[in-house]
Amino acid sequence: MTFKDDLGRRAAEVEGYLVACLRDKGIPDRLLKSMEYSLLAGGKRLRPVLVLSWNGLLGGEAAKAMPFAASLECIHTYSLIHDDLPAMDDDDLRRGRPSNHKQFDEATAILAGDGLLTEAFGLMAAASLVEGLPADRVLRAVSVLARAAGAGGMVGGQTVDMELTGRTGVPLGELKKMHAMKTGALLTASCECGAILAGAGETDIDNAREFGRKIGVAFQIVDDVLDVVGDTATLGKPAGSDEAMGKTTYPALIGLDRSKTLAREYVDEALTHLSGYFGSEQEFLWQLARYIVDRVY
Amino acid sequence: MTFKDDLGRRAAEVEGYLVACLRDKGIPDRLLKSMEYSLLAGGKRLRPVLVLSWNGLLGGEAAKAMPFAASLECIHTYSLIHDDLPAMDDDDLRRGRPSNHKQFDEATAILAGDGLLTEAFGLMAAASLVEGLPADRVLRAVSVLARAAGAGGMVGGQTVDMELTGRTGVPLGELKKMHAMKTGALLTASCECGAILAGAGETDIDNAREFGRKIGVAFQIVDDVLDVVGDTATLGKPAGSDEAMGKTTYPALIGLDRSKTLAREYVDEALTHLSGYFGSEQEFLWQLARYIVDRVY
């Protein structure tokens, strides 16, 4: 099986869980449709896959960690819905389709986001209450995720991103910090929570966290690069939209070549945190890290 | 000490915790200001007080349950911020001050709500990780609260409320169901979670839940009545705004007198769930239930 097939198979397993996870919860029809419209819009399911792979690498069972893994996709999806709103990035397109508030309406989009965020924490609890993972592990992971996704993490990162938009001369340090909050924190927490749920020791949890942090930086640099060199069909949105929106990017600050080199360096650093492990999950995480950066070569 | 003094003292204790709970979490300045603007805008702190009182009634320690109690206020506050948005109820005033998006801006208000909702779950986890409550109790309460606050509860209730707004001939059953989701679910969960965190047995948890459910209905009826008979100064918003907005209310459907009687009946039913208990917390909950309905007499 090639790496891409393996990634696709894992994404499909997550998808299977996501399809069912909002059903039979008494959600009003239009709201449910709106939540599912965005949750089931495809995507690589990178965050759940990271939870499950780190969990598996450290001895966890995939089925038990699945509700928690799915919660990461709910949080990621809600953040995309809210970021696209007219008051925020005002994006009409997402993954090549109308964004949630264009397909439904603004009020429904706001509530669909709120619903997905709240449901995420219900799914986390289900990892213990339904799947039997120890409650103390799950609660520690809930705490890690609340911090990563909250006002000091992802939500705060969106605030900072909007503050920086349209500003010229943004220092590299500020750009890095913004990305660490906006996209890095959730990728980092995905790996860390996978390890925590497996009952791993602190050294393993540190490796998971650092691996996540470093591929998170690489991921963002590559995203910036793709916005310059990619085409609309691949991106699902117009290429060059960062520049058009007045966003500071890595290529704008340090050039295209140095951006690519920097992404590769971060991936190489991430890989050092896999060196003490072996087996199919180690191999998969290794290839996943390389895949992130290979997309621009 | 009169009941009102007692309620004020309890609210002040919750307030003391709320003032500190968002600090030192790396929240960007403007976002933190926006979150605190709404979180610290006063109010009776009814939901945290219900958590703590049911917790105390069933043998729990207030200090240990406080982070969880505070999380209810974060969730309640986020829901008010999002409900006031132009795309939703479009309210310029809240508790006599500009609503969050008028004081800041729409994007900040959306993110402040998202931040408060996420932080709420971090606080719930802290009830175990910091205060030492057993993880399994806390996780069960997290699950109850996620359901109550989510798309099948409070968030879904807001969707239904907007669907019903402007419609004539809404049946009483639909109005009841909407309120049970929009405001009832969180009041019910406050009482239920207080009992769960105290390590109570299932009969006690049932009593807490039913007490919460019934005062929740009474609370909503009284709210509708006050919108008719109250004045702007007391309400913190223009009186008669329900009718002006095309909202179906209890007084509109069944008249003012029958509404008052119905509220009293629900409170009386709620009180039956306190009959097997004694002591200062039982007395307080009794008076709290009466206070809800006495506001309209």
Asked if A142 and B149 come within 8 Å (Cβ–Cβ), the reply is no
Query: Model confidence at B143, in pLDDT bands (50, 70, 90)?
Result: very high
- Residues A285 and A275: their CA atoms lie apart, in Å, by 11
Is B151 part of the contact surface with chain A (CB cutoff 8 Å)?
yes
pLDDT tens digits for B40-83?
998 899 999 999 999 999 999 999 999 999 999 999 999 999 99
**Which residue in this structure is represented by tokens 């109010």?**
B43
Q: Half-sphere exposure of A251 toward its Cβ, with a 13 Å CA cutoff?
A: 17
For chain A, the maximum distance between any two Cα atoms, rounded to a whole number of angstroms, is: 52
Give mean pLDDT, residues A107-134: 97
Q: What is the rounded CA–CA span in Å between residue A136 and residue B137?
A: 10
Confidence (pLDDT) at A86: 96
Euclidean distance between CA atoms A218 and A293, whole angstroms: 7
Identify the bridge partners of residue A98 per DSSP, sorted by sequence position.
A93
Q: Give B204-238 as a DSSP string.
A: HHHHHHHHHHHHHHHHHHHHHHHHHH--HHHHSS-
Residue of B121, B144, B188 for testing the chain A interface, max A β-carbons within 10 Å: B121
Q: pLDDT grade, residue A230 (50/70/90)? A: confident
Cβ A115 vs Cβ A135: under 8 Å: no
Check residue A181 and report its DSSP letter.
I
Long-range CB pairs of B270-275, under 8 A, 24+ apart, other chains included: B270/B210, B270/B211, B270/B214, B270/B215, B270/B218, B273/B207, B273/B208, B273/B210, B273/B211, B273/B214, B274/B207, B274/B211
What phi and psi, each to the nearest 5 degrees, are found at residue B140? Answer: -65, -40
Average pLDDT over residues A224-236: 76
Neighbouring residues of B240: CB distance < 8 A, sequence distance ≥ 6: B227, B228
Report the number of secondary-structure helices (H) and strands (E) in chain B: 16, 2
Rg over CA atoms, chain A? 18
Q: Is the CB of residue A121 less than 8 Å away from at least one CB of chain B?
A: yes
One of 3.10.20.600, 1.10.600.10, 3.40.640.10, 3.40.50.20 is the CATH number of A3-294, namely 1.10.600.10
What is the per-residue pLDDT for B245?
81
Name every chain A residue with its beta carbon within 8 A of the beta carbon of B85. Answer: 107, 110
Q: Which two tokens stand for residue B250?
A: 């209890």
**Closest-CA distance of chain A to residue B32, Å:** 8
Q: Do A105 and B87 touch (CB under 8 A)?
A: yes
Q: Is the pLDDT of residue A296 over 90?
A: no
**Residue (of A154, A190, A178) closest to A44 by Cα position:** A190
Give the separation between CA B2 and CA B172, rounded to whole angstroms: 36
Q: Using the predicted structure, report yes or no on whether residue B11 has a pLDDT greater than 70.
A: yes
Residue B235 scores a pLDDT above 70 = no
Q: Can you say whether the dihedral through the CA atoms of B117, B119, B125, B126 is positive or negative?
A: negative
In terms of DSSP bridges, do strands B97-98 and A97-98 run parallel, antiparallel, or are they unpaired?
Answer: unpaired
Q: With CB atoms and an 8 Å threshold, state whether A162 touches B107.
A: yes
> Mean pLDDT throughout B202-206?
98
* CB contact set of B68 (below 8 Å; sequence gap of 6+): B51, B123, B124, B127, B133, B138, B141, B193, B197
Give dist(CA B56, CA B63) in Å, integer: 10
Give pLDDT tens digits for A152-190: 999 999 999 999 998 988 999 999 999 999 999 999 999
Q: What is the CA radius of gyration of chain B?
A: 18
Check CB contact under 8 Å for B30 and A128.
no
Closest residue on chain A to B127 (Cα): A139
Q: How many residues does chain B have?
A: 297
Consecutive H or E run containing B97: strand B97-98
Are the beta carbons of B114 and A110 separated by less than 8 Å? no
User: Taking the domain B3-292, which CATH number applies?
Assistant: 1.10.600.10
Q: Between B281 and A235, whose confidence is greater? A: B281
Residue A111 sits at the chain B interface (C-beta within 8 Å): yes
Min CA distance, B287 vs chain A (Å)?
Answer: 32
In this predicted structure, the answer to whether residue A238 has a pLDDT above a threshold of 80 is no
Q: 21-40 in B: which are within 8 Å (CB) of A?
A: 22, 25-28, 30-32, 35
Contacting B residues, span 249-268, partner chain A, CB-CB under 8 Å:
none
Question: Tell me, what's the pLDDT at A235?
Answer: 61
- Which residues from chain B sit within 8 angstroms of residue A119, using beta carbons? 146, 150-151
Q: What is the mean pLDDT of the segment spanning A65-74?
A: 98
The confidence score (pLDDT) of residue B49 equals 98
Q: How many C-beta atoms surround the C-beta of residue B127 within 10 A?
A: 27
Domain boundaries, chain B: 3-292
pLDDT in the model for residue B255: 93
Query: Is the separation of the CB atoms in A221 and A266 below 8 Å?
Result: yes
List, for residues A257-270, the tens digit of each pLDDT value: 999 999 999 999 99
pLDDT value of position A233: 59
Chain A residue closest in CA terms to B152: A27
Q: Which residue has the tokens 């939540």?
A: A35
A30 to B110: CB separation less than 8 angstroms, yes or no:
no
Q: Are B132 and A91 in contact (CB under 8 A)?
A: no
pLDDT band at A274 (very low <50, low <70, confident <90, very high): very high
| B21 has pLDDT over 80 | yes
Q: Provide the phi-psi class of B249: left if phi over 0, else alpha when psi is between -120 and 50, else beta.
A: beta
CB A195 within 8 A of CB A208: yes
Q: Does B142 touch chain A (CB under 8 A)?
A: yes
Q: Phi-psi region for residue B7, left (φ > 0), alpha (ψ -120 to 50) or beta?
A: alpha
Q: With an 8 Å Cβ cutoff, is A147 touching chain B? A: yes
B270 in contact with chain A, both atoms CB, cutoff 8 A: no
B116 neighbors B109 (Cβ within 8 angstroms):
no
The yes-or-no verdict on residue B228 having pLDDT over 90 is no
Per-residue pLDDT reduced to its tens digit, A7-40: 999 999 999 999 999 999 999 999 999 999 999 9
Quote the CA–CA distance of B132 and A75 in Å, as a whole number.
27
**Span A101-123, average pLDDT:** 98
Mean pLDDT of chain B: 94
Work out the average pLDDT over B216-243.
80
Whether the CB of B166 is below 8 Å from some CB of chain A: the reply is no
Residue B246: pLDDT band with limits 50, 70, 90:
confident
E strands, chain A, in order: 93-94, 97-98
Q: Which residues, in sequence order, are bridge partners of residue A97? A: A94
* A139·B140 Cβ contact <8 A: no
Which residues in chain A are closer than 8 Å to B112, comparing Cβ atoms?
A: 151
Q: What is the pLDDT of residues B145-159, one digit of tens each?
A: 999 999 999 999 999
Residue A55 scores a pLDDT above 90: yes
Q: For residue B2, is it left (φ>0), alpha (ψ between -120 and 50) or beta?
A: beta
Q: What is the mean pLDDT of chain A?
A: 94
Q: A152 and B125: CB-CB below 8 Å? A: no
Helix (H) or strand (E) holding A260: helix A256-272
B90 vs A: CB within 8 A: no
CB of B122 less than 8 A from some CB of A: yes
CA–CA distances in Å: residue B258 to residues B79, B95, B174, B296: 30, 28, 18, 13
Strands B97-98 and A93-94: unpaired
Interface with chain A: mutation pick from B114, B119, B174, highest number of A CBs within 10 Å: B114
- The mean pLDDT of A236-248, rounded to a whole number, is 76
- What's residue B234's pLDDT? 63
Owner of token pair 């995480």:
A285
Helix (H) or strand (E) holding B94: strand B93-94
Average pLDDT score over residue span A215-221? 95
